[in-house]
A and B are shown apart, each in its own frame.
Chain A
Amino acid sequence: MAVGLDSGKKIGGVVLGLEGITLSFGGVQALQDVSFDVREHEVRAIIGPNGAGKSSMLNVMNGFYQPQQGVIRFRGREHCWMRPHAAAAMGIARTFQNIALFKGMTVLDNIMVGRNLKMRCNFLLQALRLGPAMREEIEHRRAAEEIIDFLEIQHIRRTPVGRLPYGLQKRVELARALAMEPAVLLLDEPMAGMNLEEKQDMCRFVLEVNDHYGTTVVLIEHDMGVVMDISDRVVVLDYGRKISDGTPDEVRSDQAVIDAYLGVAH
């Protein structure tokens, strides 16, 4: 796989910091006192065995879950918890483990929905489709087409998403997230259920997004090859706790990580 690291990419300061995040559902502790940070322009992976709390972590980051304790620091501002649309407005976009596209709408419409927050024209102008509304629609169509070109999905522009195969749906979901022009992109298992070729394509897209738009990427992935290849830093969760944090090489040789993945003799 093509490795896009060390290609002169500048990793900046901390853009998203999580401190002491604790989240529980009733008696179940999903996350316990987890702290880590995400630096600007980096690819940050979250890994861990099943049920480690990875998806919960993403859900906390974009306001879908409210942690009981802890602070989320985004671009220097502290939040006890995010509201989903506020997180979206601040530039956090995400994709889902089990695709959450708008199945009845075309690919183009799905991407245009992603532009929603950037559109300003009021309701009345839209109904009349007068000057400004029309101009806005076209301007955002242009942006959507750019993303369509970027992800190579021109041929399915007008296809309702529900009819697309899985791999393409994943790509459309990435397109929709990109349409929001996010500062931080959260990807929940973007390569799950894909074959090698599709994985390579997806890796290429993730790296290109990171490289080309400078988007910070936080991703959850089970394929260790992919994770070790494309991420700059990795955080490892197990049973809701952080057990390791560092570069892929550091994490790979960490005994706690090896124990969590392979089990320990008692």
Chain B
Amino acid sequence: MLYREVGQYKTSYAADQALLPILQDKIGIAVLLLIAFVGVPLTASDFTLNSVLIPILIFSLAATGLNLLTGYTGLLSLGTGGFMGVGAYACYKLMTLFPHVNIIVFILFSGFFAAAVGIVFGLPSLRIKGFYLAVATLAAQFFLSWCFIRVPWLYNYNISASIEVPTKMLFGIAVTGPTATSVTRYLVVLAIVAVLTLLAANLVRGRTGRTWMAVRDMDLAAELIGIRLYQTKLLSFAVSSFYCGVAGAMLVFLYLGNAEPSSFDINQSFLILFMVIIGGLGSLLGSFLGATLIWGLPILLRHVPTYFGLSIESAKVDQSTFMILGALIIFFLIVEPHGLARLWQIGKQKLRVWPFPY
């Protein structure tokens, strides 16, 4: 009864094409944003912000990026970690070259470097498809990983081969580096993620998104309708890599504080891919749900036993986390191959017709 659009008539196409056409959705998102921007900073502990919310938001953005490429355009990529790394290292280099420019500008600008690299590695996508393209992007991943280790210029010839984030100010408040409070960093991450997600939502429901999905569903027909496959695919690579690059820069500057090449290795790529698959291919909401599940579940599994007064060795917890997470992933994929976003949709549909079955 609560979630029903009956009686909400639309009298213009503008209203019909709104991002959230149903009133309850509008209220829901408004409440969610209010909690995220006001409620959480006032109440959440440092641990919640630092280890849960900030990484979940950053990974959601990376998953959104990959989802644009894999879920919307149908191009499987295993180079996400590499593209995130490009963003992080670009941001680092920009910051050392122009130390007086605002760090937020660089975090966003580093996305363009990732986009450029993404376009280069997207070039084979016209000729090869599916698994073969995945292998080509795997080459990108390994090449970029190699660069992060073997090109000392990227980390300013630092002996430890890692990049350290200095303290940077925004309106007199530290946003990066050791002195920045977790609330500040959380708010910056949240603002960037919220804006970029809105832009992604606009893109995928507009012309660009439609051409991407057309290429995904039937590329030959798309071409005969007048869609230029090459440009469409490369645009998808560019936008996807932009999102991944910004996520990578945020990962280093607003979450980790320093980065080693291993932060952007193949495991990172797989992690993001799992988030997208479990969350739901071709759904922005899915990216967030997937990131929340994959990042949140191990933390939950680690902390639930202590609430019940059980003390388990941390090594045991870590091992069992892997097993439980793996089992859950398989379970989800069998029960709902279209991911959490589809489950959410089914739930909404059930609510809409409740208390009737259909």
Contact = CB atoms under 8 A, between A and B. Distances in A.
B225 A176 contact: yes
A138 B221 contact: no
A133 B217 CA distance: 25
Contacts of A119: 207
Given A100-B221, A117-B225, A134-B14, 9 more contacts: A64-B220, A101-B221, A102-B213, A102-B222, A104-B216, A113-B210, A116-B225, A127-B202, A141-B17
Given A88-B226, A129-B202, A180-B226, A116 B217 contact: no
Main secondary structure of the interface of B (DSSP, over half): helix
Given A102-B217, A105-B213, A127 B203 contact: yes
A85 B13 contact: no
Contacts of A64: 220, 224
B213 A109 contact: yes
Interface of A: 62-64, 84-85, 87-89, 93-94, 96, 100-105, 109, 112-114, 116-117, 119, 121, 123, 126-129, 133-134, 137-138, 141-142, 145, 176, 180
Contact of B218 (A93, A94, A100): A100
Interface of B: 12-14, 16-17, 199, 202-203, 206-208, 210-211, 213-214, 216-218, 220-228, 235, 282
A249 B222 CA distance: 38
Contacts of B218: 100-103
A62 to B, nearest CB: 6
Contacts of A176: 225
Given A134-B14, A137-B17, A104 B235 contact: no
Nearest to A92: B224
B223 A96 contact: no
Contacts of B227: 85, 113, 116
Contacts of A129: 202, 206
A119 B227 CA distance: 11
Contacts of A87: 224
Contact of A127 (B199, B213, B220): B199
Closest 3 CB pairs of A and B: A88-B226, A102-B217, A100-B221
Contact of B217 (A89, A103, A117, A142): A103
Most B C-beta atoms less than 10 A away, residue of A87, A88, A103, A126: A126
A138 B228 contact: no
Nearest to A142: B13
Contact of A126 (B16, B208, B214, B216): B208
Contact of B224 (A94, A121, A123, A128): A94
Given A113-B210, A128-B202, A133-B206, A102 B226 contact: no
Nearest to B217: A102
A112 B210 contact: yes
A164 to B, nearest CB: 14
A63 B224 CA distance: 8
B345 to A, nearest CB: 12
Nearest to B223: A84
25 contacts: A84-B226, A85-B227, A88-B226, A93-B225, A96-B221, A101-B218, A102-B213, A105-B214, A113-B214, A113-B227, A116-B207, A116-B214, A116-B225, A117-B225, A117-B226, A123-B208, A126-B206, A127-B202, A127-B206, A128-B202, A129-B206, A133-B206, A141-B13, A141-B17, A176-B225
B352 to A, nearest CB: 13
Nearest to A117: B226
A9 to B, nearest CB: 28
A84 B226 CA distance: 7
Contacts of B17: 137-138, 141
A51 B242 CA distance: 48
A123 B235 contact: yes
A134 B14 CA distance: 8
B204 to A, nearest CB: 10
Contacts of A96: 221
Nearest to B220: A100
A113 B211 contact: yes
Contacts of B202: 126-129
Nearest to A162: B217
Nearest to B16: A141
A209 B14 CA distance: 28
B228 A85 contact: yes
Contacts of B223: 84-85
